[in-house]
Amino acid sequence: MPPSSSEPTLVTPQVLRAWPLPEPAGGKNGRGSILVIGGSTETLGAVLLAAEAAMRAGAGKLQVATVSSLAPFAAAALPEALVRGLPETDGGAIAADAADVVRDLAESADAVLIGPGMADKDATEAFGKRLLPHLGGPLALDALGLSCVTADDTCVHHLDGRVVLTPNPMEIGYALHAEEEDVADDPAAATLDLAGRTRAVVGLGGAVSWVAAPGGELWQDESGNAGLGVSGAGDVRAGITGGLLARGADPAQAAVWAAYLHGRCGERLASSVGPLGFLARELPAEIPRALAEVAT
Protein backbone atom coordinates (compact mmCIF):
# COMPACT_ATOMS: atom_id res chain seq x y z
CA MET A 1 0.00 0.00 0.00
CA PRO A 2 1.82 3.17 -1.17
CA PRO A 3 1.87 6.17 1.17
CA SER A 4 -0.69 8.87 0.51
CA SER A 5 0.58 11.82 -1.51
CA SER A 6 -2.65 13.65 -2.34
CA GLU A 7 -3.36 16.81 -0.39
CA PRO A 8 -6.80 16.33 1.19
CA THR A 9 -9.62 18.85 1.14
CA LEU A 10 -10.87 19.46 4.67
CA VAL A 11 -14.66 19.11 4.69
CA THR A 12 -16.42 22.14 6.16
CA PRO A 13 -19.91 23.61 5.79
CA GLN A 14 -18.39 26.17 3.43
CA VAL A 15 -17.00 23.41 1.20
CA LEU A 16 -20.41 21.74 1.12
CA ARG A 17 -22.26 24.98 0.37
CA ALA A 18 -20.01 25.42 -2.65
CA TRP A 19 -20.96 21.87 -3.71
CA PRO A 20 -24.76 21.91 -3.28
CA LEU A 21 -26.85 18.78 -3.47
CA PRO A 22 -29.33 18.44 -6.33
CA GLU A 23 -32.56 20.29 -5.58
CA PRO A 24 -35.65 18.06 -5.43
CA ALA A 25 -37.99 18.50 -8.36
CA GLY A 26 -41.62 17.46 -8.46
CA GLY A 27 -43.04 14.73 -6.25
CA LYS A 28 -41.51 11.61 -4.77
CA ASN A 29 -40.42 10.35 -8.18
CA GLY A 30 -38.36 13.50 -8.67
CA ARG A 31 -36.42 12.74 -5.48
CA GLY A 32 -35.43 9.25 -6.58
CA SER A 33 -36.01 5.73 -5.33
CA ILE A 34 -33.64 3.82 -3.05
CA LEU A 35 -33.54 0.05 -2.68
CA VAL A 36 -31.91 -1.20 0.52
CA ILE A 37 -30.90 -4.87 0.47
CA GLY A 38 -29.72 -6.48 3.67
CA GLY A 39 -30.47 -8.03 7.00
CA SER A 40 -30.72 -11.50 8.43
CA THR A 41 -32.88 -13.13 11.09
CA GLU A 42 -30.53 -11.65 13.69
CA THR A 43 -29.86 -8.21 12.21
CA LEU A 44 -33.06 -6.74 10.80
CA GLY A 45 -32.36 -3.53 12.73
CA ALA A 46 -29.44 -2.65 10.46
CA VAL A 47 -31.77 -2.50 7.46
CA LEU A 48 -34.31 -0.40 9.34
CA LEU A 49 -31.62 2.11 10.36
CA ALA A 50 -30.21 2.38 6.83
CA ALA A 51 -33.65 2.65 5.24
CA GLU A 52 -34.83 5.45 7.52
CA ALA A 53 -31.55 7.31 7.08
CA ALA A 54 -31.94 7.14 3.29
CA MET A 55 -35.37 8.74 3.51
CA ARG A 56 -34.20 11.37 5.99
CA ALA A 57 -31.40 12.27 3.56
CA GLY A 58 -33.99 13.10 0.93
CA ALA A 59 -34.81 9.98 -1.11
CA GLY A 60 -38.40 10.05 -2.33
CA LYS A 61 -39.32 6.37 -2.56
CA LEU A 62 -38.15 3.51 -0.36
CA GLN A 63 -37.88 -0.17 -1.20
CA VAL A 64 -36.42 -2.78 1.14
CA ALA A 65 -35.46 -6.37 0.47
CA THR A 66 -34.69 -8.67 3.37
CA VAL A 67 -35.16 -12.27 4.51
CA SER A 68 -38.70 -13.55 3.94
CA SER A 69 -39.24 -14.63 7.52
CA LEU A 70 -38.84 -11.05 8.75
CA ALA A 71 -40.22 -9.12 5.78
CA PRO A 72 -43.65 -8.60 7.45
CA PHE A 73 -41.94 -7.06 10.48
CA ALA A 74 -39.90 -4.77 8.23
CA ALA A 75 -43.07 -3.69 6.42
CA ALA A 76 -44.76 -2.86 9.74
CA ALA A 77 -41.72 -0.91 10.97
CA LEU A 78 -41.36 1.00 7.68
CA PRO A 79 -44.82 2.10 6.53
CA GLU A 80 -43.17 4.21 3.82
CA ALA A 81 -41.57 1.19 2.15
CA LEU A 82 -42.35 -1.49 -0.37
CA VAL A 83 -40.83 -4.59 1.25
CA ARG A 84 -39.87 -7.74 -0.63
CA GLY A 85 -39.08 -11.00 1.13
CA LEU A 86 -36.05 -12.91 -0.12
CA PRO A 87 -35.05 -16.58 0.04
CA GLU A 88 -32.88 -17.27 3.06
CA THR A 89 -30.31 -19.83 4.10
CA ASP A 90 -30.85 -22.33 6.89
CA GLY A 91 -28.89 -19.93 9.10
CA GLY A 92 -31.22 -17.02 8.37
CA ALA A 93 -29.06 -15.07 5.90
CA ILE A 94 -30.05 -13.84 2.44
CA ALA A 95 -29.46 -16.72 0.04
CA ALA A 96 -27.48 -16.47 -3.19
CA ASP A 97 -30.52 -17.14 -5.38
CA ALA A 98 -32.26 -14.14 -3.82
CA ALA A 99 -30.38 -12.14 -6.45
CA ASP A 100 -32.84 -13.40 -9.06
CA VAL A 101 -35.84 -12.46 -6.89
CA VAL A 102 -34.74 -8.86 -6.32
CA ARG A 103 -33.15 -8.16 -9.69
CA ASP A 104 -36.17 -6.32 -11.13
CA LEU A 105 -36.30 -3.90 -8.20
CA ALA A 106 -32.55 -3.37 -8.30
CA GLU A 107 -32.49 -2.64 -12.03
CA SER A 108 -35.28 -0.06 -11.80
CA ALA A 109 -34.20 1.77 -8.61
CA ASP A 110 -32.40 5.10 -8.87
CA ALA A 111 -29.87 3.85 -6.30
CA VAL A 112 -29.17 0.55 -4.58
CA LEU A 113 -27.57 -0.02 -1.19
CA ILE A 114 -26.38 -3.56 -0.45
CA GLY A 115 -24.97 -4.81 2.81
CA PRO A 116 -26.42 -3.49 6.07
CA GLY A 117 -27.01 -6.40 8.42
CA MET A 118 -26.13 -9.10 5.90
CA ALA A 119 -24.74 -12.33 7.31
CA ASP A 120 -22.92 -15.40 5.93
CA LYS A 121 -19.92 -14.26 3.92
CA ASP A 122 -20.10 -17.04 1.34
CA ALA A 123 -23.82 -16.59 0.65
CA THR A 124 -23.43 -12.80 0.46
CA GLU A 125 -20.48 -13.06 -1.93
CA ALA A 126 -22.44 -15.44 -4.15
CA PHE A 127 -25.45 -13.11 -4.03
CA GLY A 128 -23.30 -10.20 -5.15
CA LYS A 129 -21.70 -12.16 -7.97
CA ARG A 130 -25.16 -12.96 -9.34
CA LEU A 131 -26.63 -9.48 -8.97
CA LEU A 132 -23.86 -6.95 -9.54
CA PRO A 133 -23.29 -7.69 -13.27
CA HIS A 134 -26.89 -6.64 -13.97
CA LEU A 135 -26.70 -3.27 -12.22
CA GLY A 136 -25.88 0.06 -13.83
CA GLY A 137 -25.52 2.16 -10.69
CA PRO A 138 -25.54 4.23 -8.66
CA LEU A 139 -24.64 1.62 -6.07
CA ALA A 140 -23.42 1.68 -2.48
CA LEU A 141 -21.79 -1.35 -0.86
CA ASP A 142 -21.53 -1.55 2.91
CA ALA A 143 -20.41 -4.05 5.55
CA LEU A 144 -20.61 -7.65 4.26
CA GLY A 145 -21.83 -6.28 0.94
CA LEU A 146 -18.14 -5.54 0.36
CA SER A 147 -17.35 -9.26 0.27
CA CYS A 148 -17.43 -9.27 -3.53
CA VAL A 149 -14.83 -6.51 -3.59
CA THR A 150 -12.66 -8.45 -1.14
CA ALA A 151 -12.81 -11.48 -3.45
CA ASP A 152 -12.38 -9.50 -6.69
CA ASP A 153 -11.52 -5.81 -6.67
CA THR A 154 -12.57 -5.51 -10.35
CA CYS A 155 -16.16 -6.63 -9.70
CA VAL A 156 -17.62 -3.10 -9.99
CA HIS A 157 -15.43 -1.82 -12.83
CA HIS A 158 -18.36 -2.14 -15.24
CA LEU A 159 -20.21 0.57 -13.31
CA ASP A 160 -17.73 3.25 -14.47
CA GLY A 161 -17.31 4.87 -11.07
CA ARG A 162 -21.02 5.03 -10.15
CA VAL A 163 -20.23 3.27 -6.88
CA VAL A 164 -19.55 4.21 -3.28
CA LEU A 165 -17.90 1.75 -0.90
CA THR A 166 -18.42 2.49 2.81
CA PRO A 167 -15.99 0.32 4.80
CA ASN A 168 -14.89 0.73 8.39
CA PRO A 169 -11.16 0.33 9.18
CA MET A 170 -11.45 -3.43 9.66
CA GLU A 171 -13.41 -3.92 6.44
CA ILE A 172 -11.02 -1.87 4.32
CA GLY A 173 -8.18 -4.01 5.67
CA TYR A 174 -10.02 -7.12 4.51
CA ALA A 175 -10.71 -5.60 1.09
CA LEU A 176 -7.05 -4.65 0.62
CA HIS A 177 -5.75 -7.87 2.18
CA ALA A 178 -3.71 -5.57 4.42
CA GLU A 179 -2.79 -5.70 8.08
CA GLU A 180 -4.93 -3.63 10.44
CA GLU A 181 -1.91 -1.68 11.65
CA ASP A 182 -1.02 -0.70 8.08
CA VAL A 183 -4.47 0.84 7.64
CA ALA A 184 -4.21 2.59 11.01
CA ASP A 185 -0.78 4.02 10.10
CA ASP A 186 -2.07 5.69 6.91
CA PRO A 187 -5.85 5.51 6.47
CA ALA A 188 -5.72 8.08 3.68
CA ALA A 189 -3.41 5.83 1.67
CA ALA A 190 -5.66 2.83 2.26
CA THR A 191 -8.69 4.78 1.06
CA LEU A 192 -6.90 5.98 -2.08
CA ASP A 193 -5.57 2.49 -2.74
CA LEU A 194 -8.99 0.84 -2.62
CA ALA A 195 -10.54 3.62 -4.73
CA GLY A 196 -7.88 3.09 -7.39
CA ARG A 197 -8.20 -0.69 -7.41
CA THR A 198 -12.00 -0.74 -7.56
CA ARG A 199 -12.52 2.43 -9.65
CA ALA A 200 -15.09 3.44 -7.04
CA VAL A 201 -15.44 6.20 -4.49
CA VAL A 202 -14.45 4.98 -1.03
CA GLY A 203 -15.74 6.53 2.18
CA LEU A 204 -13.74 5.20 5.13
CA GLY A 205 -15.39 5.75 8.50
CA GLY A 206 -13.53 6.22 11.77
CA ALA A 207 -12.53 8.91 14.24
CA VAL A 208 -11.51 10.87 11.12
CA SER A 209 -13.33 10.04 7.91
CA TRP A 210 -11.56 9.83 4.57
CA VAL A 211 -13.17 9.90 1.14
CA ALA A 212 -11.21 9.10 -2.02
CA ALA A 213 -12.25 9.14 -5.66
CA PRO A 214 -10.72 6.90 -8.34
CA GLY A 215 -8.96 9.90 -9.88
CA GLY A 216 -6.99 10.53 -6.70
CA GLU A 217 -9.10 13.29 -5.14
CA LEU A 218 -9.11 13.07 -1.34
CA TRP A 219 -11.29 14.60 1.37
CA GLN A 220 -10.79 14.59 5.14
CA ASP A 221 -13.75 14.97 7.49
CA GLU A 222 -13.20 15.58 11.19
CA SER A 223 -16.82 15.99 12.27
CA GLY A 224 -18.33 13.66 14.83
CA ASN A 225 -17.35 12.37 18.25
CA ALA A 226 -16.78 9.24 20.32
CA GLY A 227 -20.53 8.79 20.78
CA LEU A 228 -20.76 7.60 17.16
CA GLY A 229 -18.76 4.51 18.11
CA VAL A 230 -21.97 2.58 18.75
CA SER A 231 -23.77 -0.35 17.12
CA GLY A 232 -25.74 0.70 14.07
CA ALA A 233 -24.07 4.06 13.45
CA GLY A 234 -22.34 2.74 10.33
CA ASP A 235 -25.68 1.53 8.96
CA VAL A 236 -27.01 5.06 9.30
CA ARG A 237 -24.05 6.48 7.41
CA ALA A 238 -24.52 3.92 4.62
CA GLY A 239 -28.19 4.85 4.45
CA ILE A 240 -27.38 8.56 4.17
CA THR A 241 -25.02 7.73 1.31
CA GLY A 242 -27.65 5.71 -0.51
CA GLY A 243 -30.31 8.37 0.00
CA LEU A 244 -28.08 11.08 -1.43
CA LEU A 245 -27.27 8.91 -4.43
CA ALA A 246 -30.99 8.36 -5.00
CA ARG A 247 -31.71 12.08 -5.02
CA GLY A 248 -29.05 12.60 -7.68
CA ALA A 249 -25.77 13.35 -5.92
CA ASP A 250 -22.72 12.06 -7.75
CA PRO A 251 -20.78 9.35 -5.85
CA ALA A 252 -18.01 11.56 -4.47
CA GLN A 253 -20.50 14.21 -3.41
CA ALA A 254 -22.73 11.62 -1.73
CA ALA A 255 -19.80 10.14 0.20
CA VAL A 256 -18.42 13.52 1.33
CA TRP A 257 -21.79 14.90 2.37
CA ALA A 258 -22.66 11.64 4.14
CA ALA A 259 -19.45 11.74 6.16
CA TYR A 260 -20.15 15.28 7.33
CA LEU A 261 -23.88 14.80 7.98
CA HIS A 262 -23.25 11.63 9.96
CA GLY A 263 -20.65 13.37 12.10
CA ARG A 264 -22.79 16.47 12.57
CA CYS A 265 -25.76 14.33 13.69
CA GLY A 266 -23.51 12.84 16.35
CA GLU A 267 -22.44 16.30 17.46
CA ARG A 268 -26.03 17.43 17.73
CA LEU A 269 -26.95 14.44 19.88
CA ALA A 270 -23.87 14.91 22.05
CA SER A 271 -25.15 18.41 22.77
CA SER A 272 -28.75 17.41 23.51
CA VAL A 273 -28.29 13.96 25.08
CA GLY A 274 -24.69 13.71 26.18
CA PRO A 275 -21.30 12.85 24.69
CA LEU A 276 -21.91 9.11 25.18
CA GLY A 277 -25.06 7.04 25.39
CA PHE A 278 -27.11 8.25 22.43
CA LEU A 279 -28.28 5.48 20.12
CA ALA A 280 -27.94 4.92 16.40
CA ARG A 281 -31.72 4.96 16.12
CA GLU A 282 -31.64 8.58 17.25
CA LEU A 283 -29.35 9.69 14.44
CA PRO A 284 -31.75 9.64 11.44
CA ALA A 285 -34.08 12.28 12.90
CA GLU A 286 -31.12 14.67 13.07
CA ILE A 287 -30.27 14.35 9.37
CA PRO A 288 -32.81 16.91 8.06
CA ARG A 289 -31.68 19.36 10.74
CA ALA A 290 -28.04 18.89 9.80
CA LEU A 291 -28.94 19.40 6.15
CA ALA A 292 -30.78 22.60 7.04
CA GLU A 293 -27.76 23.87 8.99
CA VAL A 294 -25.53 23.56 5.94
CA ALA A 295 -28.08 25.36 3.79
CA THR A 296 -28.24 28.41 6.06
pLDDT at residue 296 in the model: 80
pLDDT at 6: 67
Query: CA-to-CA distance for 66 and 78, rounded, in angstroms?
Result: 13
Residue 54 belongs to some domain of the structure: yes
- Residue 32's domain spans which residues? 9-295
> Which CATH number covers residue 83?
3.40.1190.20
Cα 116–Cα 121–Cα 126 angle in degrees, nearest 5 = 95
Q: Specify which residues 164 forms β-bridges with.
A: 140, 201
Closest C-alpha to 243, from 146, 155, 164, 169: 164
With respect to residue 157, please indicate whether it lies within any of the assigned structural domains.
yes
Do 108 and 77 meet the contact criterion of CB atoms below 8 Å apart? no
Q: Where are the alpha helices (DSSP H) in 177-221?
A: 180-185, 187-198
**Is 58 a member of any domain?**
yes
Cα–Cα distance between 72 and 1 in angstroms, integer? Answer: 45
pLDDT of the residue at 2: 58
Q: Is 289 among the domain residues?
A: yes
d(CA 236, CA 238): 5
Residue 2, in any domain of the structure? no
Domain count, the chain: 1
Distance CA 124, CA 233 (A): 21
Segment-wise mean pLDDT, segments of 10 residues, the chain, 296 residues: 74 97 73 95 98 96 98 97 98 98 97 98 98 96 97 96 96 93 94 98 95 97 96 98 97 98 98 96 98 92
pLDDT of residue 29: 64
SS (H, E, C) 13-60: HHHHHCCCCCCCCCCHHHHCEEEEECCECCCHHHHHHHHHHHHHCCCC
**Backbone phi, then psi, for 93, in 5-degree steps?**
-100, 165
Q: Is 207 a domain residue?
A: yes
114 occurs within a structural domain: yes
This prediction has a pTM of 0.96
Q: Does residue 3 lie within any of the structural domains?
A: no
Q: Report in angstroms the alpha-carbon separations of 235 from 150, 167, 178.
A: 19, 11, 24
Q: So what's the pLDDT on residue 261? A: 98
Structural contact between residues 254 and 21, judged by C-beta atoms closer than 8 angstroms: no
Phi and psi at 113, nearest 5°, equal: -115, 125
